[in-house]
Amino acid sequence: MNYYISRNYKSLFNASGKAKTDCEIVLERYGFKNLGFKQSSIPNTAFGAIKNFFGITIALLKLPFKATLCTQYPNKKFRNYILIVAKLKRCKVITIIHDVRSLRGRTSKKNAELSIINTEVIIAHNPAMKNWFETQNTSSSIVSLNLFDYIADQRPTQNDNHFKGSTFEIAYAGGFGGTKNSYIYEIDSLDHDNYTLNLYGGGFEEDKRKVNQQDSILNYQGLFPSDQIAYALKGDFGLVWDGITSNTCSGQYGEYLRYNNPHKTSLYLLCGLPIIVWSEAAIAPFILENNLGLSVSNLKDLDRILEKLSIEDYNAMKKNVLKAQEQVRTGGFLQKAIDKALDAIK
C-alpha cells in the first residue's frame, strides 16, 4: 500500500497551496491513502502548526513498516521528523519538489537542503532541474514531472474560440509587488501594434505606468482566488516571464526560470491558452517540442514575432493546447511521474 500525509495549508487559494493540494488530489485518485488529518485551511499560523504536528504524529504512528510514502517538499517544520520515522520503519520515500531554496538563492546551505530532499525518488520539475540534482551526486532516482497539474472539476471554456482578430490578447497572472514582475510597466514603451496585455493578480500600481491609462495596453483585471482565476482569465496567449526587465529574465526570480516550472504555465494551459515563454526558461523546450506556444529572448521582439504568426500556425498550437488542457485538468502529468517513481522503487 502507498501513503501520503495531508496537512493544513494557510491558504488553498494561492499558487503554493493550490499546487500542493492538487498533488494530494492526484495521489488520492491514484490509490495512495492519507494517514493524516483531513486536508484543511487554517490561516492562523500557530493553530495550523499545532494541527499539523498532531496530524503528522498520528500519521507516522499509523505508517506501516516497509511502506511507500509520498512526500512534498518544502515542508519546513516537519520534514526531518517525517524522514527520521520513515527511515526507522524502513519505508521508501518519494519526494515531489515544489521549490528548491538553494536554486532560488534563498539559502547558501545547499548541502543541508539536499540532505533533507534526498530520498529514494525525487520528482523534479523538468529535465533541467533533474540534471541539476544529478550533478549534485545525489543517490536518489530522479524523475521529471514536465508540468504541474492544475486540477479543475469543470473545464474552462471562455477561450475555446480560435483567434480571428488582428490584435492578440496576452494574459499574465502573478503578483506585482516588489521586483518579481516589475518589467510589466516597461511593456507600454515597447512596440505593441499586435498585442495587448491582460493582467491578473495583486499589487498592481497604476502610478507606475509609463503612459496615460487610456494610451496603455496594460489592462488590469484584478485579483482572483486560485479556484476562480481559471474561469476569469481571458486571452489568446499566456505569458511566462519574470524579472526586473523586459530585455531578458533576470534577477532572482528570472534566473529561477532556468530550473523551475512556473505554476502559471499550467494555469494558462488549463485556460486553453498557448504559451509565450522566455527562450532560456527550463519549460521552453517542452512548450516548443509539443507546439504549445512560442519562445522569445527579448520582449521587444514579441510584436514582430506575433506580426509574422499565421492564423493557421496559431490554430495548430491552440489544438495542441486543448489536448494538454485535459491532462493538466485531470492530473495526468503527476500520474505519469508517480508511475515512473514507483517503477524506480521496485
Above 80 in pLDDT, residue 179?
A: no
DSSP states along 68-104: EEEEEE--TTTHHHHHHHHHHTT-EEEEEES--TTTT
**Contact indicator for 276, 238 with CB cutoff of 8 Å:** yes
pLDDT at 163: 72
Higher-confidence residue of 252 and 155: namely 155
Above 70 in pLDDT, residue 11?
A: no
Q: Which residues contact 130 (CB under 8 A, 6 or more apart)?
A: 124, 142, 143, 144
For 219, the 3-state DSSP assignment is strand
Above 80 in pLDDT, residue 162?
A: no
Average pLDDT score over residue span 99-114: 88
pLDDT at 145: 98
Average pLDDT score over residue span 312-322: 95
For 123, the 3-state DSSP assignment is strand
pLDDT at 15: 63
State the cell numbers at 274: 498557448
Q: How confident is the prediction for the chain on average, in pLDDT?
A: 93
How far CA 94 is from CA of 121, 294, 340, 341, 345, in Å, comes to 5, 33, 11, 7, 9
In the chain, what are the domains?
Answer: 2-149+331-345 (3.40.50.2000), 168-328 (3.40.50.2000)
Q: Which residues contact 277 (CB under 8 A, 6 or more apart)?
A: 239, 240, 241, 265, 283, 284, 287, 293, 294, 295, 296
What percent of the chain has a predicted confidence (pLDDT) above 90? 80
Above 70 in pLDDT, residue 61?
A: yes
Average pLDDT score over residue span 252-263: 93
Higher-confidence residue of 226 and 283: namely 283
* Distance in angstroms (rounded) separating the CA atoms of residues 19 and 74: 12
pLDDT at 13: 56
Closest CA to 63 of 24, 39, 93, 40: 93
For 272, the 3-state DSSP assignment is coil
With 0-12 CB in 10 A as exposed, 13-18 as middle and 19+ as buried, what is 130?
buried
